[in-house]
Copies of this chain bind each other. A is one copy, B any other.
Amino acid sequence: MFTATHRVQFHETDMAGIVHFSNFYRYMEEAEHAYLRSLGLSVSMTRPDGSVIGWPRVRAQCTFEAPAYFEDVIEIRLKLMRKGVKSLTFEVEFYRDERRLARGSLKTACCIVAHGQPLVSIPIPEDIDVKFVEEPAESA
């Protein structure tokens, strides 16, 4: 499991006084990117041949169990559940202290990304060596 943290900002709340649900998908991605960073990787990598690899989202879902509030420090717990030939699937849980706020999942595909061109799905290159890690929290 990889853990990132995020302090809720004012602009992330809505008129219901809680974090707008769409931000949980952003937190999910922040944790995924912090995880890649912890491996020395980036979600946007230029290959030796000049092509750029990106990880467009295939599917994301989230179930909301309790609200998050301004200034909460949210712990985002990320688990790599499956490494497919061309995709990664993560499970994500959101905690404030010992209270789970939400849980979800994220599937991303390995693609060649060129501006103005269709995305081309490719097998994950061997040197993109994602794995299960035990890491101290990084502030996302």
Residue positions of A touching B, CB distance < 8 A = 7, 9-11, 13-18, 20-23, 25-26, 29-30, 33, 37, 42-44, 54, 56-64, 67, 70-71, 113, 115-116, 119, 139-140
Contacts and interface: CB of A to CB of B under 8 A. Distances in A.
Contacts of A67: 56, 119
A56 B64 CA distance: 9
B22 A11 contact: yes
Given A10-B33, A14-B14, A61 B59 contact: yes
Given A58-B63, A60-B21, A71 B37 contact: yes
B17 A10 contact: no
Contacts of A59: 61-64
Contact of A14 (B7, B10, B25): B10
Contacts of A29: 9-11, 21-22
A30 B15 contact: no
A15 B26 contact: no
Nearest to A5: B139
A44 B21 contact: no
A75 B59 CA distance: 19
Contacts of A14: 10-11, 13-15
A60 B57 contact: no
